[in-house]
Structure 1
Amino acid sequence: MKNYPSILIVDDEPNNFDVIEALLDNEDYDLNYASSGYKALERLEIFHPDVILLDVMMPELNGIDVCKKIKSNPQWKAIPIIMVTALTSKEDMAQCLDAGASDFLSKPVNGLELRARIKSMIRIKQQYDDLQSLLQMREDMVHMIVHDLRNPLTTILLSSELLSDPYLPESRKPEKIERITRSGHRLQSLIDSLLIMAKIEAGKMVLKYTSADLNQMCTSVIEDFETIAAQKKLELSLNLPESKLVNIDLPVFRRILDNLLSNAIKFSPANSQITVSVKYPEIGGASISVADMGAGISDGKKSVIFEKFEIGTPIQSTAQLGLGLAFCKLAIEAHGGNITVQDNEPNGAIFTISIP
């Protein structure tokens, strides 16, 4: 069901609401009515309109006082208010604006002017809402990035402290050094991905193409992830045809495949299989698929899963920053290719990257 912009009309004369309703008859607005300033404030407790049309001359609580109360409330203050008044002096208009009104209309209301001012206020409100969403997303992003950076950093610091402990057995030191190295690589990988994404989005990323063997690259990736996969009792398998050389930016392409395989391992259940397949279509180009047997991607998520900070199925105690697939999309598109996801029967997902 489509959501139309909502307008709250506050006027003690019901006939005035009928006039406004008639003037906006062909517009796609959700109109609501409050017959007094007090009732308008009650409505705002449960309903936040996109615009308020507020009559100035009302008994008990006039429009100026209602406007001041609305603008003093942090939850309501962003709602644009158009004052509707029969007063015409500049002092009266200034009083409306001083109370916090965004605009005003003179009675009798002109239909053309009414529609234009409402559209202007709705546009301003939409820009405000978009900005708030962006700020909230940035705040969430910072929290997620800090969380993802803190985990490997904590491991590095704790392992470093243990290494300096004179009572730590020599047999334990290689294990701590390995943890430091592994966590350092995680930090570097996340930071590198963020920097590459920023460069691609800014149009400043220049790919350095070389002739590469995809079969050899996939084999190397599988070997690097075998230890991590074994800890989850996962089987990594390769499906490789006869090798062909393709032109790619090898470090960036390798990072794409690292992300896909890392995700597959992260979201796969124990004792399952992950398959990496390479194909060379007759029309040219190449594709690499990573198939897992995890929870899969819902139909609703398939259209947004490659956007920044979007995640598939939330899994408790699993870091999900929502940047890995976004990086893959940007990086593969920079190669002139594309990335897709489909269901893996009977369960799981298949992510496929293709280049021309």
Structure 2
Amino acid sequence: MNDTPKLLVVDDEPDNFEVVEILLFREGYDLVFAQSGREALQEIERQLPDTILLDAMMPEFDGFEVCRYIRSHSQYQHVPILMVTALDSKLDLAKGIEAGANDFISKPVNAVELRARVRSLLRVKQQYDQLKALLKTREELSNALVHDFRNPLSSIVMSADMLATTPLDTKQRKYVKYISSSGLRLQSMVDSLLIVAKVYANKLQLHYQPVDFVSLVRTTLSEFETLAERKQIQLVARFPDVRHTIDADETICRRVLDNLLANALKFSPKGSTVEIAIEYGDEGDLCVRVADDGPGVKPEVRQQIFEPFEIGQIMQGVSQTGLGLAFCKTAIEAHSGSISVENRTPHGAIFTLILPRKRCDGMTG
């Protein structure tokens, strides 16, 4: 492994390359030169440097444009950029900062200043790399732990199902059913975490098939009957007379419905109603609405609640991880759909998800 810092020097004047090489000679850096903005981007795509010394004034594709391009691409945007410029106006400096430069040095370049600024930016890059490695280790450990939860959870659910086939009185059967449904909910949460991890790692593959969402919602509702009974909440479903299949990943969409219903039941008070309704737009797009009688969602946090680990409003006695709605957003957007929330009158919240109609077959029922 080569630990020598790599510096990409971008300047359209070859003489300036020699100056930088002389000034940084004793630092032991691996210097790579590019004579134009486009050549610099080609080099960055080939191998990321640890720091970029970027001349501001170049023909065709100047340093400001190169800087903006780098900052607009996630795979490059963390690389520190030292803008080398003969410009000294405050407006030009502001332009460079807005473009994404980390620091500036003026021509003619001073050797002591150049070495100090390059060292500073290399420290920034090193800290970024260390943090990235730490986060990757934590992510891998978390994913491994979540993955290992699946086996004991499967055993709990299977054991509860086997126990349900034995002679039990009414009260025992009620508790066994509760164990089974709770185990299934935990399994769904674990699977959701694994799916979110795949999305962030760009490894999620959707398995599209025609899905009848009316049937899917009915199946999902049946899994929540026990929980709804315990909280004395009525589940209400509203379906269209004519329905269609929507091309989607059925497993992932089922987990989205699980999360939305679990969220609605979690925040709804005893004796209230949770309603789920399906509609189809003029173009056949699917619209699913889940409405509850909870406290609603404040306007200022309606986007925030869809971010990982973000909680809109802390509720006493209610378990809130900040992952369920983040998963829903990730999963629906992976289907090129959308999800939003609005308040219900007189109280409560309505979560609406929309999925595009990729392919449909007419169905009645």
TM-score, reference length from structure 1: 0.54
1:213/1:243 contact within 8 Å kept: no
2:305/2:312 contact within 8 Å kept: yes
The aligned residue for residue 339 of structure 1 is 339
| Cα distance, 1:292–1:125 mapped onto 2, change above 3 Å | farther
Take 1:310 and 1:276, find their aligned partners in 2: how far apart are those partners?
24
The aligned residue for residue 312 of structure 1 is 312
| Cα distance, 1:122–1:349 mapped onto 2, change above 3 Å | farther
Q: Map 1:161-200 to 2 at 5 A.
A: 171=169, 173-200=172-199
Superposed CA offset, 1:73-103 (max 9, x none)? xxxxxxxxxxxxxxxxxxxxxxxxxxxxxxx
The aligned residue for residue 289 of structure 1 is 289
Residue 324 of structure 1, CA deviation? 0.7
The aligned residue for residue 15 of structure 1 is none
| Cα distance, 1:339–1:250 mapped onto 2, change above 3 Å | same
Mean CA deviation greater in 302-311 or 207-216: 207-216
The aligned residue for residue 219 of structure 1 is 218
1:200/1:330 contact within 8 Å kept: yes
1:294/1:349 contact within 8 Å kept: yes
Take 1:170 and 1:321, find their aligned partners in 2: how far apart are those partners?
35
Residue 122 of structure 1, CA deviation? 11
Size of the aligned set, in residue pairs, is 233
Superposed CA offset, 1:216-250 (max 9, x none)? 22223223322321222222212222332211111
| Cα distance, 1:178–1:244 mapped onto 2, change above 3 Å | closer
The aligned residue for residue 237 of structure 1 is 236
The aligned residue for residue 248 of structure 2 is 248
Take 1:203 and 1:127, find their aligned partners in 2: how far apart are those partners?
21
Q: Which amino acid aligns with 2:256?
A: I
Q: Which amino acid aligns with 1:204?
A: K
Residue 306 of structure 1, CA deviation? 0.8
Take 2:185 and 2:175, find their aligned partners in 1: how far apart are those partners?
15
Superposed CA offset, 1:42-83 (max 9, x none)? xxxxxxxxxxxxxxxxxxxxxxxxxxxxxxxxxxxxxxxxxx
The aligned residue for residue 265 of structure 1 is 265
Residue 201 of structure 1, CA deviation? 2.2
Q: Map 1:20-31 to 2 at 5 A.
A: none
1:214/1:243 contact within 8 Å kept: no
Gaps of 5+ in 2: 1-112, 357-365
Residue 350 of structure 1, CA deviation? 1.0
| Cα distance, 1:331–1:123 mapped onto 2, change above 3 Å | same
Q: Which amino acid aligns with 2:254?
A: R
2:224 aligned counterpart, secondary structure = helix
| Cα distance, 1:234–1:126 mapped onto 2, change above 3 Å | farther
Residue 127 of structure 1, CA deviation? 6.0
Q: Map 1:74-153 to 2 at 5 A.
A: none
Residue 282 of structure 1, CA deviation? 0.6
Q: Which amino acid aligns with 1:239?
A: R
Q: Which amino acid aligns with 2:290?
A: V
Take 1:170 and 1:305, find their aligned partners in 2: how far apart are those partners?
43
Q: Following superposition, which runs of at least 4 residues in structure 1 exceed 4 angstroms of deviation?
A: 119-128
2:181/2:226 contact within 8 Å kept: no
1:209/1:248 contact within 8 Å kept: yes
| Cα distance, 1:235–1:122 mapped onto 2, change above 3 Å | farther
Q: Which amino acid aligns with 1:325?
A: L
Take 1:233 and 1:187, find their aligned partners in 2: how far apart are those partners?
21
Residue 134 of structure 1, CA deviation? 7.1
Take 1:344 and 1:116, find their aligned partners in 2: how far apart are those partners?
56
Residue 126 of structure 1, CA deviation? 9.8
1:221/1:258 contact within 8 Å kept: yes
| Cα distance, 1:134–1:332 mapped onto 2, change above 3 Å | same
